[in-house]
């Protein structure tokens, strides 16, 4: 131990390196640390560890973590903290500390390095197993540490065993199915400014263990009495530990109130450290055991059937005196004290066990809920399993009967300022379930999640019934049952869960081989799945609207180029490939000649459109399928599912080739002329190379596959090459294209062009409930063959009237681009009997079309295909726009331009 | 998070898998079914409290579909088997609450 200086609320204090901040504050006389969240009452340290309900602080040093109990912060060089009133503030700067995660597979995981945990670890090691031992304290020993005692040598041998890994400051936060545990190891805060910069502050452990031994120990319970929240009222074990182990010398006179022999042991420790223990008030009718004898021998007065009823404070709000009540005669008297040490029995930490649904059982003998669980996968030991050691003999007592006024200041949850009065109101309102009462009173919902208040609530509920103050009489905690705890056992910073997967590393970024060109050309990008795609290419001074208009005009009147490499591509080969595609697509592919392309639509078995794209037959048994940019993985999984689980007899092999083949789309009336300057080994004329045909060619010796596919209705060529050649081909096109005013375009222009032609985007113009018929695509549904989804078209609800159907929409005001997603109502619709105007559809795609010289939209409208020419209303905020339903194809209905 | 035994790759984290609901529901001949039988095939799968034979695919691993028995209450995983092989018997209950101290 070395002395260091730390800062608290901007004042400097002396502390011992490694001691809890709570101990250092107490030793420096800071009995009152903060004011309570809602009632503004002065509060001080109550407990020893994560159960602390009062002494919350915010770190000013290091990561400025917003809320931590002072009982778990270790004093270190550079530590600076400030007090909190219940609510922490997030720092402005991002947390730049390092956070890690690791996976661990181990024979046996022992949770808790107290005596029971160390003993269990020893047994496991002797059985030849590898052991991971984790504990949230800075060192092993559990209660021994609180007594300032060292480990027996046999247990030191356990720790030194080569097959044991011991992690201190490591808290198991969740226990999940199949012995999966998440634990949080705090690795650097305790080193303060001496922590190496590259050390992860927190490491998240994902542990899978063959066996788990749960020895989490127990929390001491407070008692319910009036004004039980004053600074100076502490759990007896905490008070005795701060006084004897941490040298806290601020208490002169103490009163001990107890329901078990722990109170006697702590009274003795206080007495031996020089605190004048006025008396031990024991709620029990009598007590026996060595600690009782020892307290008596030390001359500490002992009074049975007595308990604290109320307390009074000094001018600073700290404890000044205690009112004791004789539980039989109800006589009360006052006694002065600056420390009230409370021993309300032990509450074993059942949290982790309840995470996986184990129900703790009430033991009247232990006055506690226990978990006795012994399987070959998980077992409990120590206090959780009822091994309380010593001679505790606790009674089931949670506090004396209080009147209405006393109940107002009898706190059950200190952090939430929830009182016995609140609980009575809940019961008075008819609540009886502990889970309902928790939500009504907010007890157990603060950062400590009811670690000290949960059991008090159960106890108070039982006592209320017995005292005729509401609820059922004769309830035992066994009847009430425990609260169910959910992970995490202690708060986990989100940054720790994020680990290194933050910012750029939070999700993979996929880029095309042309990405750098796009960046240099000043593209504005949009995220399409994980892909970065150019959204539009703005020239200096251009708005997005300007750029998109210029790009659209180039594609319709000159020549424009787009990077379409993100298209999902699946290579499908095998003797049954054609048969397979016939079953997958709604239209026929076995009839597709080699070297030709066909647009296909696929449905799920329920008849709902799922994906679309152009598939090219490269050979008799060889197809190249394209999917939507976001749909590639989904479609491949779909194909595999059918091949593996339904049609294993089909010899078909599917391979993702999305990132093997780059695609450049050259679009516009001048595209053929430009491309013919670069591609000289094949004839690009319309007769030699018809629409929806595919040809192999070369560009400067580079093998390319050119396809006459158009997603705009314009004359267009798709140039496919191996991924790495894309930049070269693009640059060549770009150089040759100068005299054509070749224009690069992005996804926004692509959307305008395709929507003008009425081409759908699945997921934008569909909402997961459309059949091909709803999309006016009955032409693509084969009547000659079976395919997935076909049977569903016969189902009544897919044939019914009123289904949303894809149509075009022309706003009256041609300058008004209707927002996508806008609802459509019937013209001059009146509210129905519920005062609501029913909608008749919604807008799926909406743009300004330079080619049309006006705004236009696609929409899903109920029975829309039979409502051509009908006027509808589109309410936008307080405005009511009018629009006319029309065909979804706005440009070149005759398909002339594509040739 | 479950630890799922892929028959090809061994024990892997659940995040690598996709769930495929009840196993053993073969794709019927759609044209022999009434509308309600077809709708039942589309939308109804067993979801019992207890043991269920179900389909999983090791999506982020080998990409293969397989079947396994899983207890939907305890999340215990029983025998694993490949598609088009004989389904193993439903496992018995293996969880026992031991005696208290
Ligand atoms: Zn696998």
Give the residues of chain A that fall short of pLDDT 50: none
Q: How confident is the model at residue A324, as a pLDDT?
A: 98
Question: pLDDT at residue B84 above 90?
Answer: yes
Residue ranges matching CATH 3.30.70.1400 in chain A: 568-656
| CATH class label, A568-656 | alpha beta
Whether the CB-CB separation of A581 and A587 falls below 8 Å is answered with no
- Looking at chain A, the domain(s) classified CATH 3.30.1360.120 span 516-565+661-745
Give the predicted TM-score (pTM) of the model. Answer: 0.89
Fold of A756-781+796-886: Elongation Factor Tu (Ef-tu); domain 3 (2.40.30)
Spell A241-262 as b/e; 16+ CB within 10 A means b: bbbbbbebebbeebbbbbbbbb
| B25 reaches A (C-beta below 8 A) | no
* Closest CA of chain A from B46, distance in Å: 18
With an 8 Å Cβ cutoff, are B65 and A640 in contact? yes
Pick the closest to residue A710 from A743, A750, A761, A680 (CA basis).
A750
* Spatial separation of the C-alpha atoms in residues A656 and A550, rounded to whole Å: 35
Q: Which two tokens stand for residue A740?
A: 């054509």
For residue B32, the chain A residues in CB contact (below 8 A) are none
C-alpha–C-alpha distance, residues B23 and B6, integer Å: 15
Tell me: pLDDT of B96 over 50: no
Closest to A498 in 3D by CA, of A507, A489, A510? A507
pLDDT band at B95 (very low <50, low <70, confident <90, very high): very low
Residue B97 has a pLDDT of 40
Asked if A372 and B42 come within 8 Å (Cβ–Cβ), the reply is no
- Rounded to 10 deg, the angle between the A544-557 and A747-756 helix axes is 50
Chain B closest CA to A128's CA: distance in Å? 23
- Strand B3-6 and strand A523-528: the pairing is unpaired
Contact A269, A240 (CB under 8 A): yes
Distance B61 CA to ligand 1 centre (A): 5
Looking at chain A, the domain(s) classified CATH 3.50.50.60 span 223-342
Place of tokens 């009434």: B34
Quickly name the fold that domain A223-342 has.
Answer: FAD/NAD(P)-binding domain (3.50.50)
The tens digit of pLDDT for each residue in A282-326 reads 999 999 999 999 999 999 999 999 999 999 999 999 999 999 999
Size of interface A-B (CB pairs under 8 A): 73
The residue behind tokens 């009222």 is: A233
Residues of chain A with CATH 2.40.30.110: 756-781+796-886
Instruction: Determine the number of helices (DSSP H) and then strands (DSSP E) in chain A.
Output: 22, 47
| Comparison of pLDDT for B92 and A237, the residue scoring more | A237
Tell me what pLDDT residue A356 has. Answer: 92
**What does CATH list as the number for A516-565+661-745?**
3.30.1360.120
- Quick: pLDDT tens for A674-698: 999 999 999 999 999 999 999 999 9
What dotted CATH number matches A3-83? Answer: 3.10.20.440
What's the gap in Å between the CA of B11 and the closest CA on chain A?
11
Neighboring chain B residues of A178 at a CB cutoff of 8 Å: 2-3, 75-77
Encoded tokens for A652: 């078909």
Distances (CA, A) of A557 to A296, A549, A554, A895: 104, 12, 5, 16
- Phi, psi (rounded to 5 degrees) for A759: -85, 130
**In which residue ranges of chain A is CATH 3.10.20.440 found?**
3-83
Residue A312's Cβ-count burial label (10 Å; 0-12, 13-18, 19+) is middle
Q: pLDDT per residue over B22-77, tens digit each?
A: 999 999 999 999 999 999 999 999 999 999 999 999 999 999 999 999 999 888 99
Q: What distance in Å separates the CA atoms of residue A827 and residue A378, rounded to the nearest whole number?
A: 67
Q: How far is the CA of A578 from the centre of ligand 1 (A)?
A: 28
Ligand 1 centroid from CA B63, angstroms:
6
* Class in CATH terms, A399-486: mainly alpha
CA A633-A639-A645 angle, to 5 degrees, is 125
Domains in chain B with CATH codes: 3-81 (3.30.2270.10)
Q: How far is the CA of A209 from the centre of ligand 1 (A)?
A: 21
pLDDT at residue A472, rounded to an integer: 77
State the pLDDT at residue B93. Answer: 60
Q: Is the dihedral of CA A760, A766, A768, A774 positive or negative?
A: negative
């Amino acid at each position: 131990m070395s002395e260091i200086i730390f800062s608290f609320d901007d004042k400097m204090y002396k502390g011992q390196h490694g001691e809890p901040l709570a101990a250092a504050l107490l030793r420096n006389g800071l009995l009152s640390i903060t004011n309570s969240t809602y009632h503004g009452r002065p509060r001080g340290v109550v407990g020893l560890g994560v159960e602390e309900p009062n002494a919350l602080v915010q770190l000013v040093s290091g990561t400025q973590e917003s809320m931590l109990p002072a009982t778990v912060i270790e004093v270190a060089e550079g530590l600076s903290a400030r007090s909190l009133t219940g609510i922490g503030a997030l720092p402005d700067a991002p947390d730049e500390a390092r956070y890690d995660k690791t996976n661990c597979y181990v024979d046996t995981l022992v949770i808790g390095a107290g005596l029971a945990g160390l003993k269990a670890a020893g047994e496991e090691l002797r059985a030849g197993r590898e052991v991971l031992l984790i504990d949230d304290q800075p060192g092993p020993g559990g209660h021994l540490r609180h007594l300032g005692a060292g480990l027996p040598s046999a247990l030191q041998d356990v720790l030194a065993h080569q097959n044991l890994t011991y992690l201190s400051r490591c808290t198991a936060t969740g226990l999940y199915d199949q012995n999966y545990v998440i634990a949080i190891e705090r690795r650097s805060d305790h080193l303060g400014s001496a922590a190496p910069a590259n050390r992860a502050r927190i490491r998240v452990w994902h542990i899978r263990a063959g066996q788990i031994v749960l020895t989490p120990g127990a929390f001491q319970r407070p008692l319910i009495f009036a004004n039980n929240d004053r600074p100076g009222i502490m759990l007896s074990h905490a008070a005795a530990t701060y006084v004897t182990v941490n040298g806290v010398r601020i208490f002169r006179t103490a009163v001990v109130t107890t329901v078990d022999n722990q109170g006697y042991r702590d009274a003795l420790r206080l007495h031996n450290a020089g605190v004048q223990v006025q008396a031990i008030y024991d709620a029990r009718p009598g007590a026996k055991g060595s600690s009782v004898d020892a307290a008596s021998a030390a001359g500490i007065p002992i009074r049975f059937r007595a308990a604290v009823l109320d307390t009074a404070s000094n001018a600073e709000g700290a404890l000044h005196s205690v009112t004791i009540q004789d539980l039989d005669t109800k006589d009360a008297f006052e006694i002065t004290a600056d420390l009230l040490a409370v021993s309300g029995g032990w509450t074993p930490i059942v949290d982790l066990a309840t995470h996986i649904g184990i129900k703790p059982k009430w033991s009247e003998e232990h006055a506690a809920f226990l978990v006795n669980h012994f399987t070959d996968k998980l077992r409990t030991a120590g206090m959780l399993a009822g091994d309380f050691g010593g001679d505790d003999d606790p009674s089931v007592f949670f506090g004396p009967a209080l009147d209405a006024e006393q109940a107002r200041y009898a706190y059950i949850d200190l952090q939430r300022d929830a009182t016995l009065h609140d609980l009575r109101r809940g019961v008075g309102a008819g609540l009886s379930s502990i889970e309902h009462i928790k939500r009504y009173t907010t007890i157990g919902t603060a950062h400590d999640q009811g670690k000290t208040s949960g059991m008090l609530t159960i106890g108070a509920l039982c006592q209320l019934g017995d005292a005729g103050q509401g609820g059922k009489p004769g309830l035992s905690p066994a009847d009430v049952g425990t609260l169910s705890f959910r992970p995490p056992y202690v708060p986990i910073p989100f940054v720790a869960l994020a680990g290194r997967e933050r910012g750029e590393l939070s999700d993979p970024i996929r880029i095309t081989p042309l990405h750098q060109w796009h960046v240099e050309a000043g593209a504005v990008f949009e995220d399409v799945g994980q892909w970065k795609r150019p959204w539009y290419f703005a020239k200096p001074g251009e708005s997005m609207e300007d750029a998109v208009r210029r790009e659209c005009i180039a594609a319709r009147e000159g020549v424009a180029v787009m990077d379409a490499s993100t298209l999902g591509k699946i290579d499908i080969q095998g003797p049954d490939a054609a048969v397979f595609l016939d079953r997958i697509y709604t239209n026929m592919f076995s009839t597709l000649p080699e070297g030709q392309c066909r647009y296909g639509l696929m449905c799920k078995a329920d008849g709902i459109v799922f994906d679309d794209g152009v598939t090219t037959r490269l050979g008799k048994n060889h197809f190249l399928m394209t999917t939507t940019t976001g749909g590639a993985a989904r479609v491949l999984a779909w194909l595999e599912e059918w091949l593996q689980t339904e049609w294993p007899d089909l010899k078909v092999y599917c391979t993702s080739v999305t990132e093997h083949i780059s695609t450049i789309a050259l679009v516009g009336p001048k595209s053929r002329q430009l491309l013919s300057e670069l591609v000289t080994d094949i004839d690009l004329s319309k007769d030699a190379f018809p629409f929806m045909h595919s040809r192999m060619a070369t560009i400067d010796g580079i093998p390319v596959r050119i396809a006459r596919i158009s997603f705009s209705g314009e004359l267009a060529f798709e140039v496919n090459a191996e991924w790495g050649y894309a930049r070269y081909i693009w640059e060549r096109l770009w150089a040759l294209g100068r005299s054509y005013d070749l224009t690069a375009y992005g996804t926004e222009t692509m959307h305008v062009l395709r929507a003008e032609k009425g081409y759908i985007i699945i997921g934008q113009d569909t909402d997961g409930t459309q059949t091909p018929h709803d999309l006016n695509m009955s032409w693509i549904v084969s009547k000659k063959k079976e395919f997935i989804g076909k049977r569903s078209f016969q189902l009544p609800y897919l044939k019914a009237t009123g289904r949303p159907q894809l149509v075009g929409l022309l706003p009256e005001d041609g300058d008004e681009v209707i927002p996508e997603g806008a609802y459509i109502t019937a013209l001059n619709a009146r509210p129905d009997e519920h005062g609501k105007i029913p909608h008749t559809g919604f807008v799926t795609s909406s743009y300004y079309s330079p080619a049309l010289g006006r705004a236009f939209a696609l929409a899903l409208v109920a029975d829309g295909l039979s409502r051509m020419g009908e006027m509808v209303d589109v309410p936008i905020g307080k405005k009511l726009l009018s629009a006319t339903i029309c065909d979804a194809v706005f440009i070149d209905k005759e398909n002339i331009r594509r040739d | 998070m479950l630890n799922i035994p892929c028959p090809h790759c061994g024990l892997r984290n659940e995040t690598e898998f996709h769930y495929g609901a009840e196993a053993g529901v073969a794709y019927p001949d759609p044209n022999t079914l009434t509308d309600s039988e077809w709708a039942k095939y589309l939308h109804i799968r067993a979801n019992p409290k207890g043991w269920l034979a179900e389909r999983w695919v090791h999506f982020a691993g080998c990409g293969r579909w397989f079947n396994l028995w899983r207890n939907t209450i305890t999340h215990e995983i029983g025998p694993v088997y490949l598609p088009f092989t004989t389904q193993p018997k439903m496992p018995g209950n293996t969880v026992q609450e031991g005696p208290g101290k």
